[in-house]
Amino acid sequence: MPRAASRVGLLGTETALDVLVKARAVEARGRQVIHLEVGEPDFPTPGHIVEAGVRALRDGYTRYGPPAGSPGLREAIAEHLAQRGVRANPEHVLVTPGAKPNLFYGFLATLSPGDEALVPDPGFPIYASMVRFCGATPVPVPPRLDQGRALDLDVLERAITPRTRMVVFNSPSNPTGAVVPEADLQRLAALADRHDLWVMADEIYRRIRYGADAPSIAALPGMLERTILVDGFSKAYAMTGWRLGWGLFPPALAPHAVRLVINSNTCTASFVQEAGIAALRGPQDVVDAMVARFRTRRDAIVARLARIPGVRCHEPAGAFYAFPDVRALPLSAAALADRLLQEEAVALLDGAGFGPGGSGYLRLSFATSLESLEEAADRFSSLVARL
Ligand X SMILES: Cc1ncc(COP(=O)(O)O)c(C=O)c1O
The residue ranges that bind ligand X (CB under 6 A) are 39, 98-100, 124, 170, 174, 202, 204, 232, 234, 240, 245
Instruction: Name the minimum Å distance from CB 175 to ligand X.
Output: 8
Closest C-alpha to 156, from 173, 145, 147, 144? 144
Instruction: Name the minimum Å distance from CB 100 to ligand X.
Output: 3
Which residue, 134 or 311, is less far from ligand X as judged by CB? 134
Which residue, 272 or 329, is less far from ligand X as judged by CB? 272
Report the distance separating Cα 230 and Cα 386, nearest Å. 44
Burial (Cβ within 10 Å: 0-12, 13-18, ≥19) of residue 268: buried
Burial readout 313-324 (b: 16 or more C-beta within 10 A, e: otherwise): bbebbbbbbbbb
| Residue closest to ligand X when measured from CB atoms | 98
φ, ψ of residue 134 to 5 degrees: the values are -80, 0
Report the distance separating Cα 149 and Cα 173, nearest Å. 10
Instruction: Name the minimum Å distance from CB 173 to ligand X.
Output: 7
Instruction: Name the minimum Å distance from CB 58 to ligand X.
Output: 26
φ, ψ of residue 344 to 5 degrees: the values are -115, 0
Instruction: Name the minimum Å distance from CB 280 to ligand X.
Output: 15
Instruction: Name the minimum Å distance from CB 99 to ligand X.
Output: 3
Indicate the SS3 state at residue 233: coil
Which residue, 109 or 329, is less far from ligand X as judged by CB? 109
Which residue, 56 or 126, is less far from ligand X as judged by CB? 126
Which residue, 16 or 311, is less far from ligand X as judged by CB? 16
Instruction: Name the minimum Å distance from CB 181 to ligand X.
Output: 18
Which residue, 124 or 271, is less far from ligand X as judged by CB? 124
Q: How many CB atoms lie within 10 A of CB 331?
A: 13
Report the distance separating Cα 347 and Cα 344, nearest Å. 9
- Check if the beta carbon of residue 233 is closer than 8 Å to that of residue 241: no
Indicate the SS3 state at residue 94: strand
Report the distance separating Cα 12 and Cα 129, nearest Å. 5
Instruction: Name the minimum Å distance from CB 330 to ligand X.
Output: 31
Which residue, 129 or 234, is less far from ligand X as judged by CB? 234
- Check if the beta carbon of residue 103 is closer than 8 Å to that of residue 109: no
DSSP state of 315: P
Length of the chain, please? 387
Which residue, 367 or 383, is less far from ligand X as judged by CB? 367
